[in-house]
Structure 1
Amino acid sequence: MKRITVCIISLLSLIILLSGCSQSVESKTDLFQYKNSYVGDNSAVGNIVNELPYNNELKQISLETKKEPYGITLEYKDIDANSGDKEMKETVITNSTFLFALIKNVDWIAFKFPDKEFSVTREKLQDWYNNKLDGFENEQDLKKLIQEHLRSEETVNEFFNQ
């Protein structure tokens, strides 16, 4: 009997310990808590970027806050042409969409990859979407907009050829 009790207590302790280590869906950061942030708020910008695709590959974030137009430069280390041009372009569109939707005064974002560089302005991206990005109030609606526009490789290429 004592052996069974010890096994049950050990098993329950293990279950409690493991359930405490798992990350639930609810504990994921809500990016829209940073809505209406400013480029000058480096912690908000950093927190947003840390939740975006390829955040683990980010080498450096630079903020242009001294004079307008205000901007952000994101430099990545391990994303190169081998990972696919399409993947890089999707990352540029997705990340810039979130940054423009959440950061009130950012006018441009530069993406530096080992083999390529891209620059996106708020105006160019909003024209491509035919939609103002600062009007979005939640992550799901913004992701839906992004996915609708990423469906067609031709549409994506049009954005980069403008």
Structure 2
Amino acid sequence: MKKLFFIPLLVLLILNGCKSNVENEDIFQYKDTYVGSGGTVGNIILRLPNPSGENTNGLELKTTEKPYGIIINYINSDTTDEINKNYEEIALYNASFLFALVKNVDWVTFNFVEQEYTVTRQELQNWYGKDLREFSDENELSQFIQKYLEDENKAKQFLN
């Protein structure tokens, strides 16, 4: 009987260890990915933040004709935490990383539970005044994005 309890516990420990390793891996190992590489794009999205109280619920890759895009769907999570919807910040942050890492993605749509945003590479890079593909370090890109997100009104204006 103890063996039957031990096996599921071992599986849970291994899976939890794998998730921790995924979160600790350098996201820039996926630099120059193509939007058609579903597994790699999925790995990038797993490393990006979700809005409070929501989880990623799949993605769609639009690769049959240009402009190429990614649609990311979200659902409510099973959490009792207070939900703080920071959609604008998450959309800009995650889109910035996707445009920095995925070579040929032209737009990203975020289907959050209560809001939808579509961000294009051209509009975001014009807003920043910089080609996001020039970044090669997660910390450098995060710091760059945070400078722009410090002004909440600027972020909301961009997305409206």
TM-score range, shorter chain: 0.7 to 0.9
User: In percent, how many aligned pairs have the same letter?
Assistant: 40
Task: Give the aligned CA root-mean-square deviation in angstroms.
Answer: 2.2
- Please, which runs of 5 or more residues in structure 1 have no aligned partner? 1-20
- 1:30 corresponds in structure 2 to 26
Number of residue pairs aligned between Structure 1 and Structure 2 = 136
Partner of 1:62: 60
Which protein shows a greater Rg? 1
**Matching of residues 112-131 of structure 1 within 5 Å:** 112-131=111-130
Return 5+ residue gaps in structure 2 as ranges.
1-16
- Say which SS state the counterpart of residue 73 (structure 1) adopts: strand
- Which residue of 2 is the match for residue 5 of structure 1? none
TM-score by length of 1: 0.77
Superposed, 1:1-162 pairs within 5 Å as 28-54=24-50, 57-78=55-76, 83-85=83-85, 87-161=86-160
| 2:87–2:115 contact (8 Å) kept in structure 1 | no
Tell me how far 1:43 sits from its aligned partner. 1.1
Distance in 1 separating the partners of 2:134 and 2:64: 26
Structure 1: 4+ residue segments shifted above 3 A: 82-85
Query: Partners of 1:66 and 1:135 in 2: how far apart?
Result: 26
TM-score (norm 2): 0.78
More helix by share: 1
Cα deviation, residue 83, structure 1: 3.6
Which has the larger displacement, 27-36 or 117-126?
27-36
